[in-house]
Structures are given as C-alpha cells and as structure tokens.
Amino acid sequence: MKNKDRKKSPFRLKNIQYSAVIVFVILLMLAVNDGVRLYFVRQNAKETDRELNALDERVSERRLQREKQLVEIAVQNFSKLAEQYIKDGLPDSLYSVARMTLESNLHISNSGIAFRHGYFPNKVSDFFLFAYRDTDTILTGDYRTLSLDFYNRDWYKDAVTKKESIWTEPYQDYKSGNSVMTYAMPLWDPDGEVMAVFYADMPMTWVKEVSEVRSTLRLQNEKLQHRLVVISSLLILVDLLLLGLIFWSAVRLFQSLRKSEESEARIMSELRVAGDIQRGLLQDAFPVRDDIACFATLTPARQVGGDLYDYHLRDEKFFFCIGDVSGKGVPASLMMAVVSSAFRTLTDRQSKPEQIVSSMNKIVIASNSKDMFVTLFLGVLDLPTGRLRFCNAGQGSPLLFVKGDDEKSERFESIEVISNLPIGVLDNFVFKEQEIQLPDEASILLYTDGLTEARNAKGDQYTEQRVLEVAQKIAQSDNLTPQNIISTMKSEVCHFTGATEISDDLTMLALQYRKPQYSFDRMRSVTLPCDIKHIPELNAFVQDVAKDAGMEGTRIKDLQLAAEELVVNAMSYAYPIGRTGDVLVEAFWDDKMVRLRITDKGKPFDPTALPEADINLPAEERNVGGLGVHLVRMLTDSINYERIDEMNVLTISKLIK
C-alpha cells in the first residue's frame, strides 16, 4: 500500500498545484474585470471635465440669448395691438396691453408705454402707463407727474435717439433692487416720428441660478476626481492583499493536502467553480421581442475556455458578437473576460462597429503579455430598418438565410466578409466595417471554428461543407427559430463526433430578425434654419401633429420637450462656425404612435452614445453629461440614431395613449 501511495504522490502534487493556480486565476479574472471598468470610469471623468469647461463657455450666452428672444417676441407681438389702440383713440386700453405682455411671459417683471411730451393734449403732458408683478398678482398704474423722469432713462433716450429697438446693459432696478435688463421698442405715429416707447424689464435672477449650477457641477467634478484617486488606491491595495492572501492560502493548501486522498476531487470541484464563474460572464437571458429573437450556446473543451458570445440592446439597436481567443484553458479564459467586459462597456457609448472593434483591439493589446489574439465578429443591427453593420476581425463568415420563390430554393449562404486582422495583433490596424440590408424574417448563424474542426474517432473534421449541408436542411424546414437552428446543428455535430471528446470550444449564436410593420398613413414635415429663434415654429408644428394624431395633455408637452431638446442640440452643434444649414423634422403617425424623424447634414454626432446619467446617485456622485438624452428617453418610448448618406438621422417615437 505504501508503494502504491508513493507512486500516486507526484500526481497528487500536480493536481494540488493546479488547484492553487485556478483559485489564483479566478481572483485575477475578477481583478482584470474591475480594472477594465475602472479604466472607463477614468475616461468618463476626463470627458466630464471637458464637458464642464465647455458648459462654462456656452451656458450663460445661450440662456441670455434665449431669454432676450422670448422678451422681444412678447413686446413685438403686443406692439401692433398698442398702435391700434392709439390709432383708435383708446389710450386707456393700453393698460391691458401692458398687462397681457406680463401674462404672456413669466420672465418679464415690468412693462409699459412711455409717450413723448404732450402727445395726449387731453391728458397730462407726460403720460407713462405700466404693469408690474406684485408676488403672484399683476398690477397696473401710471405716472402723471414729473416725479419719475422717464425721459432721462437710458432705455427711453436710446430708443428715441437711435429710432430702433434696443437692449440696455444690466442695471439695478430702483424699486426691487434686482439687476434687470430693459428691452425698448419705439412706436411710430403716422408722420413717422417716435410717439412712444414700449418697454419690458427682464430680471437677471437666472444668472445667480447659473452660477449656483456651475459651482455645484465643479464641486461634483472635484469630488469625483478625488473619489477616483481613493478608489484606485483602494483597489490596488485590496488586489495586493487578496492576491497575497490567496498565495498564502494556496501554500497552506498545498502543504495540508499533499498526502490527502481527496486532492483530485477537490481540484475538480474548484475547476467546476471556475467554469461556473466564467459561464456567469455570458448572457443567458435572451431577448423576448417581436422584432428580434436570439439564442446562443457555448460548450467548452475544458472546464474553462476562451470562446465567447455576447449581445446588448440599446436605443433600438441590437449589438452582438462572437469570438475565439487563441489558446485554451486559463489564459484564454482571462482574455475572454477582458473582451467580454470591453464589449459591454463600449456598446453602452458607441454604435459604429469599426470604432468598437478598434477600441477593443487597444484594450486587448494593453492587457496582453502572452502574444494572444482574438478572432471576433461584431454586428450592430438597427431594428427599425434592418440595416446591419458589422466588422469581422479574423472570424469565419456567418450564414444568412435567403428566401426563395419556393421551399426548395430557400437556403443559407455565407456573408462575404473583409478579412481584417484579429484583435490583439497590431495596435494601429485600421478595421473596416461592412453593411448589408436584412430582409424581413432573416436568420443568421454565427459559429467559431470549434464547429468546423470537431473530429470523429477517425480524425475527420466536420468541415464547412457539412455545416452548409445541415444549414440547407434547416432552411427547408418550417422552423427557423434561433433555438431550433442551434439545437439541430449541435445534434448533428454530436452525432458526427460520437464519443470523441471535443478538442476546441464550440460556440454558436443565431438570431432571427422580423422587420417591424408600421402603418403610418399620415405624414407632415417642416424645415427649420439652424437658429433657435425658430423653436416656437417647431413647438407649434409638434403640437399640431400631436393633436391631429389624437394625443392629449402632458403627452403633447412631453413630445414637444423631447423634440426641442434634440433640435436645439442640432441647431447649436451640427454645423461648424461660419457654415449654415437646415434641420428637417418629419412626422409620421397612425392611430397608435407618433414618430418624429430629425435630419441634418452636419458633422456626425450620436447623442445616444453619450454615457447615460444615473439620476439615482447622490448629486456629488453623479457624472456630468448625458442628462439631455436621458430626458428624451424618459419622455419618449424609443430613440434611435443612424448616420445615413452623410446625414444625422435621429428618430423618436411616442405612443398616443
């Protein structure tokens, strides 16, 4: 018995060492996962700082111009009514004009009309009427004496002298003590002379609000930077402590289990745990939708492997990928964790396959010390249109189901792909993306080389030809669901290999696309120059469309606010300084839904790729940026961005009820 135990000892030692390595690697996988996430948190913090600096430069000017524009519109609108009252000899009716000016714009605190000396001979020589806010009440009055010398006020003198509408510089109001700006507009008599000045005071209280917002945002950013430094230090410390603890535990385990008869069972148990952790990184909750169905399986050749698949739904886009890490076992599983984490992080902020794959390439190279590489196919399917953009990085060609005139002509055929390099090979490699249009009820099958290279007892490979033959049988069946495609293919390859163990990970991903059927039978459009003074036209257009569609109440306001946010953003940033352009707003609707499509020919900009604001976090922990698109997502039922024919095309939809 002793001799027998002595012979088994090297085997036990080897298994115990392997067990210690596996436990160590599992922790390292989790640390790598945290490291990748921390990298993107830092990048987001830098982006936040840039956004904050940009906000400081533009928020005050944009707010001031918008507030001034609203005041100008109010005064200009009621000036015609005032001139008519004067023409009709109804000067006492002008009090209502001043009152209505305040009622039309909550940002006006005081409004009135000051006539030139002696204009009304039947009244006092100096006639000046006004309306002002007293808490929640609007009061009117007039000055019939020279106790208020309004002729020497800057707004009156400048409007009369220049004979045009003017804005004053900010000054302190004698009554309220607040800083105000005054907009003054001359009113003309039949002889072409200035008979009166129609004015409106705009309080500058919002400046204080903007200042407070700036201070809050800067404080948040400083706290965020500080937290990042603390978190980075803590993560490094925790990783070192945990790695040291695992190393110490592994040594103790090796010493205590060296002569144990249960070492082999313990090692297998720990390998199963590692496999469970790795499988936990894979998606298993497949989408249940009318427009997309998906299913995938991964069968590792060992307890842990290097194959991967993943998918992600965001803003009416379905992101998916399948990949194969070079090598097998633990090193491949670590790289698989890096690639999977990068995919989920990047698809939250980017929509172009070539950009996503390029970023993943840089991350793999930065995390790669073993000259490993990853073959990868990554696709982005625009669900409303069926537009499929993809980037192939050394992976095999997917199979696409093609409908025919009859069942016999229906088939699967390979999608032609560009042979880009695998990721992790060359840092500055330029990946090229491709695009196809999927027909309705299209099915796609993706797989790794573990399928084609599966061997039977004779050593024969399954080959691409056998895969195509089985795919043709599936194409001529009545069941093209992703589950049936994969289960049939897996059953056939298992029948081929028999009892022979697979030598490589076998991964398959299938999806079926059903193009949404819309019955929009009504359509209307408006083209707006890139100037925010046309926003009232946009609001009127959206309101008319929504009412015609049968939308009511706050749902109309929500749609108006969402459209205004997106159109103002396009007007402000789509075109470079010195270049002008238009924004086209098209509306489509039926009895259930209203859809707005906003198109401009400006520089590419995808607002849906901005990091989404987490409003559940405390203010000091919340990232700056992304609130606009977050608001649009809250106010609408869907948002979708596409860059088509050198144009930004942004679509939002909202149910009528």
So what's the pLDDT on residue 24? 64
* pLDDT tier at 485, thresholds 50, 70, 90: very high
So what's the pLDDT on residue 257? 64
The rounded distance, in Å, linking the Cα atoms of 324 and 393 is 10
115: in domain: yes
315-342 pLDDT, tens digit per residue, is 889 999 999 998 777 788 888 889 999 9
Distances (CA, A) of 495 to 187, 332, 491: 93, 28, 6
DSSP state of 529: E
The rounded distance, in Å, linking the Cα atoms of 98 and 88 is 17
Q: What is the pTM of this model?
A: 0.56
77-117 pLDDT, tens digit per residue, is 988 888 888 888 888 888 989 999 998 888 898 999 988 88
Domain ends where: 203, 234, 252?
Answer: 252
The rounded distance, in Å, linking the Cα atoms of 213 and 250 is 53
Count CA within 13 A, CB hemisphere, residue 191: 3
* pLDDT tier at 211, thresholds 50, 70, 90: low
* Encoded amino acid at 615, one letter: I
So what's the pLDDT on residue 265? 62
Give the domain extent around 245.
35-252
Which of 378-382, 500-504, 509-513 is predicted least confidently?
500-504
120: in domain: yes
Question: In CATH, what number is assigned to the domain containing residue 551?
Answer: 3.30.565.10
546: in domain: yes
The rounded distance, in Å, linking the Cα atoms of 82 and 93 is 8
320: in domain: no
Per-residue pLDDT at 248 exceeds 90: no
Collapsing DSSP states into helix, strand and coil, what is residue 181? strand
Per-residue pLDDT at 255 exceeds 90: no
139: in domain: yes
Stated as kind and residue range, the H or E segment containing 113 is strand 110-115
So what's the pLDDT on residue 557? 92
Query: Between these two residues, 599 and 204, which has the higher pLDDT value?
Result: 599
Rounded mean pLDDT of 183-212?
Answer: 84
Q: For the sheet containing 638-644, what is the strand order?
A: 522-529, 582-589, 593-600, 647-655, 638-644
The rounded distance, in Å, linking the Cα atoms of 298 and 466 is 20
- The whole-angstrom distance between residue 350's C-alpha and the CA centroid of its chain comes to 8
Per-residue pLDDT at 145 exceeds 90: no
585-604 pLDDT, tens digit per residue, is 999 998 888 999 999 998 88
Question: In CATH, what number is assigned to the domain containing residue 223?
Answer: 3.30.450.20
440-460 pLDDT, tens digit per residue, is 889 999 999 999 999 999 989
Domain ends where: 217, 252, 287?
Answer: 252
Cα angle for residues 519, 644, 648 (degrees, 5° grid): 95
232: in domain: yes
575: in domain: yes
What's the structural domain count of the chain? 2
Query: Between these two residues, 64 and 383, which has the higher pLDDT value?
Result: 383
345: in domain: no
527-541 pLDDT, tens digit per residue, is 999 888 999 999 999
So what's the pLDDT on residue 336? 87
540-567 pLDDT, tens digit per residue, is 999 999 999 899 989 999 999 999 999 9
Helix segments in 517-606, DSSP class H: 535-549, 554-573
Task: Name the average pLDDT for the chain.
Answer: 82
Which of 47-51, 314-318, 416-420, 488-492 is predicted least confidently?
47-51
Domain ends where: 228, 252, 276?
Answer: 252
Collapsing DSSP states into helix, strand and coil, what is residue 464? helix
